[in-house]
């Protein structure tokens, strides 16, 4: 299944981390839910939600405790995050939420790989594949039900194929920014 969604043409109305639709305007604590791209697919035993949002700050458990933080992303494992102050600064937060297809429960220990590749006007590959170093994270204060995977990225306007692999099962999304 291929889904194309144009950034800025649709309001962001995500499916919540608890497997239910959230009303427009509602946000999960700690998540930056500005207008963005969202798409959902079922692949194998999983329901995979792809989100493209504005960049997010990442924090360690020690940072959260010492600074009494209530917003941002808590690093729970995986790669080193690309910080919003990086060079060049990232312009999006590319993430996936992964759910058990039968129970709807959030997968908190999935092995996730994530990449994107630009496409030309005909939908053919038009550049190199970018492999995203996957950070395992949670929205601060939201607990394991908010577990998701991804990173901040630098990605320009255009069409892209995003490939997500969860525990060896792949899903391909087509997005337009």
pLDDT band at 86 (very low <50, low <70, confident <90, very high): confident
**Residues for the chain: how many in total?**
177
Identify any residues that bridge with 38 across adjacent strands, giving them in sequence order: 51
Pick from 17, 69, 14: which is nearest to 37 by CA? 14
Say whether 88 sits in a helix, a strand or coil.
coil
Q: Which domains does the chain have, with CATH numbers?
A: 37-176 (2.60.40.2480)
Q: What is the pLDDT of residue 35?
A: 52
pLDDT at 5 over 70: no
Q: What is the 3-state secondary structure (H, E, C) of 65-89?
A: HHHCCCCCEEEEEECCCCCCCCCCC
pLDDT band at 84 (very low <50, low <70, confident <90, very high): confident
Say if residue 53 is exposed, middle or buried (CB neighbours under 10 Å; 0-12, 13-18, 19+): buried
Model confidence pLDDT, tens digit, residues 116-171: 999 999 999 999 999 999 999 999 999 999 999 999 999 999 999 999 999 999 99
pTM given for the model: 0.80
Model confidence pLDDT, tens digit, residues 19-34: 323 333 333 333 344 4
Query: How many other CB atoms are found less than 10 A from the CB of residue 20?
Result: 8
Residues 6+ apart with CB under 8 A from 128: 117
Say whether 145 sits in a helix, a strand or coil.
helix
């Amino acid at each position: 299944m291929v889904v194309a969604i144009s950034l800025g043409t649709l309001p962001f109305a995500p499916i919540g981390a608890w497997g239910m639709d959230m009303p427009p305007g509602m946000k999960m604590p700690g998540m930056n839910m500005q207008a963005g791209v969202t798409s959902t697919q079922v692949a194998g035993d999983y329901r995979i939600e792809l989100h493209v949002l504005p960049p997010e700050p990442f924090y360690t458990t020690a940072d959260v405790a010492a600074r009494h933080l209530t917003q941002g992303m808590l690093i729970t494992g995986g790669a080193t995050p690309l910080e919003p102050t990086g060079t060049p600064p990232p312009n999006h937060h590319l993430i996936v939420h992964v759910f058990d297809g039968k129970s709807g429960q959030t997968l908190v220990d999935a092995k996730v790989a994530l990449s994107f590749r630009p496409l030309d006007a005909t939908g053919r590959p038009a550049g190199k594949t970018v492999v995203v170093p996957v950070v395992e994270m949670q929205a601060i204060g939201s607990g394991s039900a908010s577990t998701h995977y991804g990173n901040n990225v630098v990605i320009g306007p255009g069409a892209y194929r995003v490939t997500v692999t969860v525990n060896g099962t792949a899903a391909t999304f087509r997005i337009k920014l």
